[in-house]
Structure 1
Amino acid sequence: MSHTVQEKRPVAAPSHATLAHARMPRWAPAAIAVGSVATGCLIGFVAGLDSRTQWGMISALVFVAATYLITAKVEGSRQGKNRVATSLVWVCFLLAIVPLLSLAWITLSKGVTVLDGYFLTHSMSGLLDTEEGGGVYHALLGTIEQVAIAALIATPIGLLTAVYLVEYGRGRLARAVTFFVDVMTGIPSIVAGLFVLATWNLMLGFGPSGFAGSLALAILMMPVIVRSTEEMLKLVPNELREASLALGVPQWRTILKVVLPTAIGGITTGVMLAVARITGETAPVLLLVFGTKLINPNPFDGAQSSLPLYVYEQYSVGTTASVDRAWAGALVLIAFVMILNLVARGIARWKAPQTGR
């Protein structure tokens, strides 16, 4: 019986040249961006467009189109589409960051004209709004007290509501609570102010005070805290809960000792973001706190002021001195919110769970 032996021919390895594809150099996106800006400015100048914003929009469109055409020509249509998606992300980022930087620069340049130690430590007592001088101390004190009281009211209520929805909530009650939280998220601030005005001031007979404004601000804070805390609690692995329950630990103690400490960083960030969200509210303060030029350290009796209301009042006067004070008050408000956000990020990083290396 004969056996035929077939010789196996070695398969030729594909050459490196067949696998290589043309690639654009790393400096190509920057060069395309520079050329697009130049082209957009040229088109805007020739067309007689006065707005620099229009020049920027034209440059962005030219950049996206040029990126696709050049990349598709060099690397193929698939890479061209990929580059277009990346270009759109960068364009949207710039469209979001440019107004923010412009706002910060204008506020800083106009606010530093009168912002000094005297401005931060004096009020408008005994001074007309049309005169030069005065300060923001009474408004800064009112904002700190009103926001602090609102946070003390809204934080435990929002935290406990989120714990109920994540850990215990089942059935119609949980669905109803979720629905009303969603509804409260979209409530305008003026509606919250009118609600507190109708109940606290008119029905119960209390006068204007910083506490009344804090009640309206707390209403605006609650849904933000509930939603952020709820999402943070959902991120806690179920294995941690199951391990604690398997050891015989009650559920309430598992929540207190395991779930909440694990999510405390995100919860703190959510609370700080809610505080930053209400710090700039003007309508509830205008309805319930009324505003005053005097320093009133008691938030439970008499009218108070706040930074947003101070900015509104000073800018409404319209004189050079009052407008300068309005810009300085806006700068103090932005700095206050920025400090809160930095504190929130620091606490979140400090309390973040440490993973083993």
Structure 2
Amino acid sequence: MSAQANHRATSPLGRRSLTSGRLPKWAPAATAVAAIAIGCAIGAGAGLSSHIQWGVIAALLFVAGSYALAARVEGPRQAKDRLATSLVWVCFILAVIPLVSLTVYTIQKGAGVINGTFLSHSMNGVISSEAGGGIYHAIVGTLEQVGLATLIAAPIGLLTAVYLVEYGRGKLARAVTFFVDVMTGVPSIVAGLFVLSFWIMILDFSFSGFAGSMALAILMMPVVVRSTEEMLKLVPNELREASYALGVPKWKTIVRIVIPTAIGGITTGIMLAVARITGETAPVLLLCFTTDVINTNPFQDPQESLPLYIWHQYSLGNDQTYARAWGAALVLIAIVMGLNLIARGIARWRSPKAGH
């Protein structure tokens, strides 16, 4: 009986399973190459001038070819999985191409103007049609405005999230959640108009970098609340219950247990919120104005920022100002990319390690 069982297990019928008849690992790549070649041939033969149309044809051929090939070799069940996978890859490529194109184009247009002078000088005394000048005053303004906005929004957002997760019950918590959701979708120009009417027109304060920081803080706050709230919800309740069982008060449990456990995700959310407000132009244009000189005091007089500098230089409309605008855009992209890399590094550093 044992020999018969072994014979059945090793027979072709015994080896058959749901995964039989698999395509080789190189089949998707070969299908993609064939789809690109056929799509280019169709586009060229049909006289289509746009390479975007060639790409759309190649994407459709890749999806259809992957499904047809899998249906013939692996069966209809696996073919549906291949269809979903190919659609995901096509959507991923469609999302990446504009981002890569934007980055490459910005580098091509702005890298030539970036040098030590450009990064260490302002536009004071520089005629717009002349070469020279720099973005030092805009970098100082951006760092100060974003820093002040973070000092305002991060503590308020963190405490609001702690209230919603640890204490929030009833109508007040639902109202706070509702307003946080509403603030998430508020256009930046609305935040700028609110600060303009309240801080400058009603309270009669002057235009300054701090006024722009308050508008940026309004935009940043709901992002911090939402991200922090989700991170606090991920903290296991067992940690809280163990702390309560030892007689630790709730407030000390939050300070010593809950927040340190979620600090990696909280920091990441704050950094991403900072990256989100760094490129805002409308509230800064309303509240900070624009200036060519270095102003290190954000509480008095107009103050430049990188987004405002880009808008101002590009609006002047000559080759020199275009070059400076693209150079500032490249620096701004580098700053935002650096903030995102810092956020990822902090998240990886503070994430729970296996075996700990």
TM-score (norm 2): 0.96
Correspondence for 1:302: 301
What is the Cα deviation at residue 41 of structure 1? 0.8
Amino acid of the structure 1 residue aligned with 2:8: A
Correspondence for 2:24: 25
Structure 1 runs of 4+ with >3 Å offset = 9-12
**Is the partner of 1:152 in helix, strand or coil?**
helix
Query: Whole-Å Cα distance in 1 between the matches of residues 31 and 342 of structure 2?
Result: 40
Correspondence for 2:324: 325
Query: Whole-Å Cα distance in 2 between the matches of residues 261 and 66 of structure 1?
Result: 51
Q: Does 1:122 align with 2:117?
A: no
Q: Does 1:166 align with 2:165?
A: yes
Q: Does 1:235 align with 2:234?
A: yes
Correspondence for 1:73: 72
**Is the partner of 1:294 in helix, strand or coil?**
coil
Deviations 1:294-331 (A, max 9, x none): 10000000000000010011111111110000000000
Amino acid of the structure 2 residue aligned with 1:286: L
Correspondence for 2:201: 202
**Is the partner of 1:107 in helix, strand or coil?**
helix
Identity %: 66
Correspondence for 1:3: none
Amino acid of the structure 1 residue aligned with 2:301: G
Q: 1:354 to 1:30 in 2, by over 3 A?
A: closer
Query: Whole-Å Cα distance in 2 between the matches of residues 98 and 28 of structure 1?
Result: 23
Gaps of 5+ in 1: 1-6
Q: What does 1:136-147 correspond to in 2, within 5 Å? A: 136-147=135-146
Q: Does 1:250 align with 2:226?
A: no
Query: Whole-Å Cα distance in 2 between the matches of residues 45 and 10 of structure 1?
Result: 62
Query: Whole-Å Cα distance in 1 between the matches of residues 267 and 257 of structure 2?
Result: 16
Correspondence for 2:87: 88
Correspondence for 1:4: none
Correspondence for 1:151: 150
Amino acid of the structure 2 residue aligned with 1:256: V
Amino acid of the structure 1 residue aligned with 2:22: R
Correspondence for 2:344: 345
Larger displacement relative to structure 2 (147-156 or 128-137)? 128-137
Amino acid of the structure 1 residue aligned with 2:40: C
Query: Whole-Å Cα distance in 2 between the matches of residues 254 and 303 of structure 1?
Result: 45
Q: What does 1:8-47 correspond to in 2, within 5 Å? A: 13=8, 16-18=11-13, 19-20=15-16, 21-47=20-46
Q: Does 1:108 align with 2:107?
A: yes
Q: Does 1:52 align with 2:57?
A: no
Query: Whole-Å Cα distance in 2 between the matches of residues 250 and 353 of structure 1?
Result: 25
Q: How many residues align?
A: 351
Q: Does 1:221 align with 2:216?
A: no
Correspondence for 2:133: 134
Amino acid of the structure 2 residue aligned with 1:234: K
What is the Cα deviation at residue 129 of structure 1? 1.6
Correspondence for 1:336: 335
What is the Cα deviation at residue 128 of structure 1? 1.8
Deviations 1:257-286 (A, max 9, x none): 000000000000000000000000000000
Query: Whole-Å Cα distance in 2 between the matches of residues 22 and 172 of structure 1?
Result: 59
Amino acid of the structure 1 residue aligned with 2:144: E
Larger displacement relative to structure 2 (285-294 or 44-53)? 44-53
Amino acid of the structure 2 residue aligned with 1:333: L
Gaps of 5+ in 2: none
Alignment RMSD: 1.6
Deviations 1:139-183 (A, max 9, x none): 010000000000000000000000000000000000000000000
Amino acid of the structure 2 residue aligned with 1:320: D
Deviations 1:21-71 (A, max 9, x none): 222112111111100001111111122221111111111110000000011
Correspondence for 1:279: 278
TM-score (norm 1): 0.96
Amino acid of the structure 2 residue aligned with 1:64: V
